[in-house]
Amino acid sequence: MIRKIFIILLLLPFLLNGQDSTMMEDRLNHHSIHLQSYLNAKTNTLGSDFINRMLFGGFITEEQKINWINAGDEINKVNFELINSLSYSYLTQNFNKYSFSFSDRNIFNSSFNDDLLKFTFQGNYNYQGDTLNFDNTVVRADRFQQYKFGYSRTFLISDKLIETEMAISYLNGNHHLSYIMDKGSLYTAPFGTDLDLQYNMNAFVTDTSDFSAFKGNGKGVTIDIAVVHNFNNNFRLAFSIEDLGFINWNSSSIVAAADSSFSFNGVEIDDIFEFNDSVIDNTFDNLYSSSKSKFKSYIPARITLSFSKEMDYKRIKELYVSVRSKWQPYMDNTPLSFSKIKQGIEESGYTPSIHISTKIDAKYFWLSPGISKGGFTDNINFSLFLSSKENKIQIGTYHLESLFQKGNKTSLSGFIALLTYF
């Protein structure tokens, strides 16, 4: 099986990177404007119906609940990203480039097991005598605006072109939500006579009084670093780190922590006329502690090592291969170290992935089919991108296979870019 996958990866290339595709055209023009929209939704088990309901709301039928529980696995992952951006760049006579971009970004990712689905949609009544396991439950959501200024410079060293790029971004944080449960379980005794709850959870939520766009609940910064080595003008090796940074959220945020074991054997009532909601509230007061406080969260950083080669084999004009990873640790204030680098890769929920693509001359347009493996799921994904010969219009999908899936799809993605040069 592994051998077959490897052969497929070699024979069926992946996707055309939008920035790489315009680089050479960019060098022939001094000014460029780039408008881009990107949508990517992915789940390993639950499907697009679940994603739509969780992200956008709506009535959930009993049939849908049962279908989701049956589809659930030991580890269920849901990832959603929506980015709208506008960028401008200026290329000097010496091939140095200045750029500025604005992006509105929405990011959601989660990881949870099937027992959490059972408890959420059916409660604990059907699981008397059983222990539901909620270990390693993670839910994270962010919305922020990114204002990025970049500068790139080209050097000629020993007849080799070396391209370097640096960028810094200011982040306007709108909203953040994260629930991180390392350990969690619930035992329900037969007939519900006893409940045993064990949990270790941290929660971070920004101000919920105003969900309007551009609401400033936090401020942050990121940096980008990229180096490209050109060999004989037809072979390029590149390494980049993008969006390495964080957002500091203001003191209107809520920080909650819980680490305890709890047994519930009912509530003793001496006077039925004194029984009210406060009796229940007081019973559960010791389950967690919360306060309004500042906190820091990391946004997902992208780490990419790529290789590209210009080709002239029939209509195949380029081969592109990349290995990608993401870095996004949970909240902590420890200094950067090798252990934290490993921590951030593991806690991002993103498995290092391989991407392979080619660029095909389809006479009237460029065609870029491809394949990838890894990422937020272990599934093999196919992609297809089309662009005009001048690269002024680009459209495509990162999950071509979803177009051929009937019924509930496990992925949905789309990409469109409009470019102009002058």
Cα separation values, 374 from 74, 217, 399, Å: 18, 34, 13
Q: Which of 247, 248, 225, 250 is nearest to 238 (CA)?
A: 225
Tell whether 373 is covered by a domain: no
Position with higher pLDDT, 301 vs 231: 301
Q: Return the pLDDT at 174.
A: 95
Q: Are strands 218-231 and 289-292 parallel, antiparallel or unpaired?
A: unpaired
Tell whether 290 is covered by a domain: yes
Amino acid at 2: I
Angle at 415 between CA 391 and CA 247, to 5 degrees: 115
Task: Specify the number of domains making up the chain.
Answer: 1
- Tell me how far apart the alpha carbons of residues 368 and 400 are, in angstroms, rounded to a whole number: 12
Tell whether 237 is covered by a domain: yes
316 pairs with which residues across the strands? 313, 360
What tokens does 132 get?
Answer: 């539901």
What is the band of 264 on the pLDDT scale with cuts at 50, 70, 90? Answer: low
332 pairs with which residues across the strands? none
Q: What is the pLDDT of residues 134-167, one digit of tens each?
A: 998 999 999 999 999 999 998 887 777 899 999 9
Q: Which of 137, 5, 169 is nearest to 72 (CA)?
A: 137
Tell whether 418 is covered by a domain: no
pLDDT at 343 over 50: yes
Q: Which residues have a Cβ under 8 Å from the Cβ of 205 and sit 6 or more positions away? A: 176, 177, 178, 253, 254, 256
Cα separation values, 96 from 22, 236, 390, 412, Å: 15, 18, 21, 37
Compute the mean pLDDT over every residue in the chain, rounded to the nearest whole number.
Answer: 83
Share of the chain above pLDDT 90, in %: 44
Radius of gyration of the chain (CA): 25
- Tell me how far apart the alpha carbons of residues 156 and 301 are, in angstroms, rounded to a whole number: 29
Tell whether 172 is covered by a domain: yes
Q: Return the pLDDT at 16.
A: 31
Average pLDDT value for residue range 29-38:
90
Angle at 297 between CA 295 and CA 302, to 5 degrees: 165
pLDDT at 207 over 70: yes
Q: Which residues have a Cβ under 8 Å from the Cβ of 420 and sit 6 or more positions away? A: 32, 33, 392
pLDDT at 327 over 80: yes
Average pLDDT value for residue range 382-400:
90
Average pLDDT value for residue range 196-214:
85
Provide the 3-class DSSP secondary structure of residue 21. helix
HEC secondary structure over 116-136: HHHHHHHCCHHHCCCEEECCC
Tell whether 56 is covered by a domain: yes
| Residue/partner pairs of 261-268 with CB below 8 Å, 24 or more apart | 261/196, 261/197, 261/198, 262/195, 262/196, 262/197, 262/198, 262/199, 262/286, 262/287, 263/194, 263/195, 263/196, 263/197, 264/194, 264/195, 264/196, 264/197, 265/193, 265/194, 266/193
Tell whether 380 is covered by a domain: no
What tokens does 63 get?
Answer: 């049939």
Q: What is the pLDDT of residues 66-111, one digit of tens each?
A: 888 888 778 888 899 999 999 999 998 888 999 999 999 999 999 9
Q: Return the pLDDT at 378.
A: 82
Helix (H) or strand (E) holding 281: helix 277-283
What tokens does 351 get?
Answer: 């498995």
Q: What is the pLDDT of residues 309-325, one digit of tens each?
A: 998 888 999 999 999 99
Provide the 3-class DSSP secondary structure of residue 213. coil
Cα torsion through 128, 130, 136, 137, rounded to 10: -20
DSSP character string of 223-247: EEEEEEEEETTTEEEEEEEEEEEEE
Contact 31, 89 (CB under 8 A): yes
Q: What is the pLDDT of residues 270-290, one digit of tens each?
A: 443 444 454 444 544 555 667
Average pLDDT value for residue range 111-123:
87
DSSP H helices, 84-217, are 114-122
pLDDT at 20 over 60: no
Cα torsion through 57, 61, 66, 68, rounded to 10: -20
Question: The domain containing residue 56 runs over which residues?
Answer: 51-364
What is the band of 35 on the pLDDT scale with cuts at 50, 70, 90? Answer: very high
pLDDT at 335 over 90: no
What tokens does 322 get?
Answer: 């990349």
Tell whether 259 is covered by a domain: yes
- Tell me how far apart the alpha carbons of residues 367 and 21 are, in angstroms, rounded to a whole number: 11
What is the band of 127 on the pLDDT scale with cuts at 50, 70, 90? Answer: confident
Q: Which of 390, 274, 298, 378 is nearest to 21 (CA)?
A: 390
Contact 349, 77 (CB under 8 A): yes
